Amino acid sequence: MPVLPAELGRSGLVRGAVPALVAAVVLVLDQASKVGVSGWLGSGAGPRRWELLGKYLALEYVENTGAAFGLLRGQGTLITAVALALLAAVVAVYWLLAPPSPELSVGLGLVVGGALGNLLDRVRLGYVVDFVAVGVWPKFNLADSAIALGVLALAWRAMAGSDDEPADRGEGGERALVPGDGRPRGGASAGG
């Protein structure tokens, strides 16, 4: 059994449980959806498109050799290397944060699960199976959706800041007020 660093310990295992569970669910759903669509609309399965809302929304089997939404076609090795580097960076930053919020944990799980789903396709098949068609473009899959939602959750949390940050305290221990609000700061009281 591997020895865990002391700082990881029990809290580190719990800390990693939420992202790992979310990533596992995303990975399973992504791969299951791709297997289903590939069997139904994939190579040799007849029509490769099934319209849900006319030309505006359809299920369409696409073998994407590019990045998300079909960008950078034919650059599989570069895309894989960049995806692995970004994945490692996101996970490293997550572990460096003092206890992460639920949004960060779920966001990380979505990004990791989606990235692993597309990486698995790329390594196993040489392309990523996309199947959701919105108009003419874009074409994407559940992994792409999970990555996009995860990035939004991470960005939202980063812009919102942390509710856990300690409040500024005045000399007497009371909460300091924002300058210019007309009330005293620090240990001074309104009466004197």
- Token pair belonging to 97: 């944060």
Which residue among 30, 121, 130, 168 is the active-site one? 130
Query: pLDDT of the chain along its 192 residues, tens only?
Result: 444 444 444 466 668 899 999 999 999 999 999 999 999 998 877 778 899 999 999 999 999 988 876 678 878 888 889 989 999 998 898 888 777 888 889 999 999 999 999 999 999 999 999 999 999 888 999 999 999 999 999 899 888 875 554 444 445 555 444 444 444 444 444 444
Q: Which phi and psi angles does 57 have, rounded to 5°?
A: -150, 125
CB 176 within 8 A of CB 170: yes
Closest-CA residue to 25 (of 131, 140, 139, 142): 142
Q: What does 26-88 look like in DSSP terms, one character per residue?
A: HHHHHHHHHHHHHHHHSTTSS-SEEESBTBSEEEEEEEE-SSGGG-STT-HHHHHHHHHHHHH
Question: In whole angstroms, what is the distance from residue 168 CA to residue 122 CA?
Answer: 50
Spell out the domain ranges in the chain. 13-159
No. of helices (H) and no. of strands (E), the chain: 4, 4
Residue 52 has a pLDDT of 93
Which residue among 121, 144, 163, 168 is the active-site one? 144
Give residue-wise pLDDT tens across range 156-176: 988 887 555 444 444 555 544
Question: For this structure, is 168 an active site residue?
Answer: no
Q: Which residue type sits at 78? A: L
CB 104 within 8 A of CB 151: no
Torsion of CA 157, 161, 165, 168, to 10 degrees: -170
Q: Where are the beta strands (DSSP E) in 49-127?
A: 49-51, 57-64
| Spatial CB neighbours of 159, under 8 Å, sequence gap ≥ 6 | none
Question: For this structure, is 164 an active site residue?
Answer: no
- Token pair belonging to 103: 């949004």
Q: What is the mean pLDDT of the chain?
A: 80
Residue 129 has a pLDDT of 95
- Token pair belonging to 16: 């990693």
Residue 93 has a pLDDT of 85
CB 118 within 8 A of CB 153: no
pTM of the complete model: 0.74
